[in-house]
A and B are shown apart, each in its own frame.
Chain A
Amino acid sequence: MKRATRDLCLFSLAALIIMLVLLFTLDSANLRVVTGVYMWIGLALSWNIIGGYTGYLSFGHAAFFGIGAYTTAILVTVAGWPFPLAVLTGGVAAGVLAALIGGPTLRLAGAYFAIGTWAVALCMLQLANILDITGGAYGISLPSLYSDTVFYLLMFALAWLVFFFTWHYIEHGSFGRKLEALRENELAAEMLGINTNRQKLLAFIVSAVFPGLIGGVYAGWIVFIEPNAVFGSNINDPMILMTILGGAGTVMGPVIAAVVLYLLNRILWINWSADTAYLIFLGFLTCVVVLYAPNGLVGTFKAWLANRRRSLPDTQDDEEAS
């Protein structure tokens, strides 16, 4: 067995054990907190595919989360579809939206891409506020379909799916190599025969489908959605900040940051009912990390390790030479 595959199996097994232990030991309130942790792991890892590995900072990923949530909610309440099918359709809807806007938007570079995607997400937010089918600002209430345990397992499965994809196809696959090549130098990547437009678009679509699915499950879990709750900055911003804090373009960075920051959010909320203070922490940490460790915590740690490994034989060579 290859080392990467072995590590993936070991990590998945450990995650599965932790998940089961938590499932049987936690009360229902804490179980919901952990469900939220899985959700944010999934979202941060999805954003990481386009924002971290491909280097295109999407500031509008809430558009995909929201379209998944609304598609699911409308199909379940209006059309009476079964929940799993509605969630899958939500994922498809997110993918289609990404495919439609991806082509033109991915031609924009740097901050222009960020502004463009942000404008798209704000358009979706306004549309959800205006349209009749979305219930406008009043939102949509869904029937309570399953128990919290089912949603706990569903969120875990989705988070694991994104993790598996990132690990297998990106961190240790040729797809990820292509993305990293085009992130470092798009022209050079093209000279190597990589169809950069196609790869960028694929990465964008994949990183949109997962939030679409997660949004659908979220709608069924929370039972009530309104425009600001699924398209707003409380979904949009943490995805970006978690990934950058943990380390954009690493697998473990977004996972660690999502766990720590979402738990911090819940602690602030439960003890002081202050979820606005969470924004202070997020913003402050982002400023500090961008200033002093621009590769994020895991990225900086990896660079430090690599540097140390490299510097040891180097010093010996120097001594021999002198």
Chain B
Amino acid sequence: MDLLLQTLVNGILIGGVYLIITLGFNLAFGVLGVIDFAVGEWVMLGGFTGYWLNHYLGLDPLLFLPVTFVVFVIVGALVYPMLARLLKGRQHARLLMVFVFTFGLSTLLKGGALTAWGFNQRAMDSFFSARSVELAGVYMPQIRLVAFFFGVLITVAVAWMLYRTRFGLSVRAVAQDEGKARLMGVNTNRVAALVYALYAGLTGMAGVLIGVIYTVTPQMGVQYTIFAFFIAVLAGLGYVPGVLLAALLLGLIQAFVAVYIGSAYSLLIVFLSLYLILLVAPRGILNRGRA
């Protein structure tokens, strides 16, 4: 019973971090129609941003979350014009070309990180790292708790932005029908640029949290790309509320497979279920996404 409860808590806690990555990812898909293959590399680079700031300034890596956010918002704003150029082009299969572009970008970023920093794993410690809380026989590392609550906080903030602000209204309008949104006077190009920048910023921050919980290495990106795809497909691509359920599910699948089947099978089962969900329910388990 204790083991079951512990596994449940582990799964939920890590799901909170995945939430941050996929929230932005799915939002960007909804507005731009773009599936960003480089999502895992933003996580990786975010992790390294946290690592190097921590390494040279010696402050707690969690304090650099806002800095990382700003850095990656700027990076996202710089990348967006290239995506926009591809999206406005006239060539055949534009969205597929954007996908290939982000694939090239991810190869470039991974190669650059590997060349600069090598294959080594690097760890960074936070104030919360070696501590834990025990509640009713369930043991919770503090850093994971902090990461989870940060994830929840970000989710609430994004939800507030989407449903309670004028900007959020225009984001939802563009996601629903870009042409009509433009007729209503929404500057769709600006909305898309801001959403992409926001997504990059959120993903970079998630990288810092993941880096503190585990380690950072230039090769870590691919795993988070597939996690982002998994959650987004499960949630239904473009359907933001579904992300809540899907991120927790991924955390739970990983935790339960690791405990009851063996951690070697964890990724296999994630990949296999991604494939099967794509085939059986391409609009997500809630049937609300775009196919």
Do A and B associate with each other? yes
With CB as the reference atom, state the residue of chain A lying closest to B269. A126
The digit string for A98-120, where 1 denotes a CB below 8 A from any CB of B, is 00000011011011101110111
Q: Determine if B5 is an interface residue (Cβ-Cβ < 8 Å).
A: no
The digit string for B246-279, where 1 denotes a CB below 8 A from any CB of A, is 0000000000000000001101100110110011
Q: Determine if B105 is an interface residue (Cβ-Cβ < 8 Å).
A: yes
- Say yes or no: B111 contacts A283, CB within 8 Å: yes
Which of A145-153, A194-202, A273-281 has 4 or more CB atoms under 8 Å from chain B?
A: A273-281
The digit string for B145-176, where 1 denotes a CB below 8 A from any CB of A, is 00000000000000000000000000000000
Which range holds the interface residue count of chain A?
35 or more
- Say yes or no: A116 contacts B111, CB within 8 Å: no
Q: Determine if A20 is an interface residue (Cβ-Cβ < 8 Å).
A: no
Residues of B within 8 A of A114 (CB): 96, 99
Interface of B is mostly: helix
- Say yes or no: B279 contacts A130, CB within 8 Å: no
Which range holds the interface residue count of chain B?
35 or more
Q: Determine if A57 is an interface residue (Cβ-Cβ < 8 Å).
A: yes
Q: Determine if A135 is an interface residue (Cβ-Cβ < 8 Å).
A: no
With CB as the reference atom, state the residue of chain A lying closest to B275. A119
Closest approach, in angstroms, between the C-beta of B208 and any C-beta of chain A? 24
- Say yes or no: B92 contacts A184, CB within 8 Å: yes
Choice from B89, B271, B274 contacting A294 with Cβ under 8 Å: B89
Q: Determine if B64 is an interface residue (Cβ-Cβ < 8 Å).
A: no
Closest approach, in angstroms, between the C-beta of A229 and any C-beta of chain B? 15
Residues of B within 8 A of A44 (CB): none
- Say yes or no: B35 contacts A130, CB within 8 Å: no
Closest approach, in angstroms, between the C-beta of A125 and any C-beta of chain B? 8
Residues of A within 8 A of B278 (CB): 108, 112, 115-116, 119
- Say yes or no: A126 contacts B92, CB within 8 Å: no
A to B CB contacts below 8 Å, 9 in the list: A104-B279, A119-B271, A120-B275, A122-B271, A126-B264, A126-B265, A276-B115, A277-B111, A281-B111
Residues of A within 8 A of B268 (CB): 123, 126-127, 130
Chain A, range 36-58, C-beta contacts under 8 Å to B: 55, 57
Choice from A105, A118, A279, A295 contacting B114 with Cβ under 8 Å: A279
Q: Determine if B80 is an interface residue (Cβ-Cβ < 8 Å).
A: no
Closest approach, in angstroms, between the C-beta of A117 and any C-beta of chain B? 9
Q: Determine if B93 is an interface residue (Cβ-Cβ < 8 Å).
A: yes
- Say yes or no: B264 contacts A280, CB within 8 Å: no
- Say yes or no: A279 contacts B108, CB within 8 Å: yes
With CB as the reference atom, state the residue of chain A lying closest to B266. A126
The digit string for B88-117, where 1 denotes a CB below 8 A from any CB of A, is 010111011101110111111111101100
Q: Determine if A250 is an interface residue (Cβ-Cβ < 8 Å).
A: no
- Say yes or no: B105 contacts A122, CB within 8 Å: no
Residues of B within 8 A of A116 (CB): 275, 278-279
With CB as the reference atom, state the residue of chain A lying closest to B291. A112
Residues of B within 8 A of A240 (CB): 100, 103
Task: Tell whether A278 pairs with B95 under 8 Å between CB atoms, given A119-B271, A233-B222, A240-B103.
Answer: no
Q: Which 10 pairs, one residue from A and one from B, show the smallest C-beta to C-beta distance?
A: A279-B111, A283-B108, A286-B104, A283-B107, A276-B114, A126-B268, A280-B111, A119-B275, A122-B271, A287-B104
Task: Tell whether A115 pairs with B104 under 8 Å between CB atoms, given A279-B111, A280-B111, A291-B82.
Answer: no
Complex CA gap A107/B89 in Å reads 26
With CB as the reference atom, state the residue of chain A lying closest to B118. A276
- Say yes or no: A283 contacts B106, CB within 8 Å: yes
- Say yes or no: A241 contacts B107, CB within 8 Å: yes
Residues of B within 8 A of A126 (CB): 264-265, 267-268, 271
Closest approach, in angstroms, between the C-beta of B246 and any C-beta of chain A? 15
Complex CA gap A90/B91 in Å reads 38
Residues of B within 8 A of A17 (CB): none
Interface centre among B86, B95, B110 (most CB of A within 10 A): B110
Q: Determine if A140 is an interface residue (Cβ-Cβ < 8 Å).
A: no
Complex CA gap A295/B265 in Å reads 40
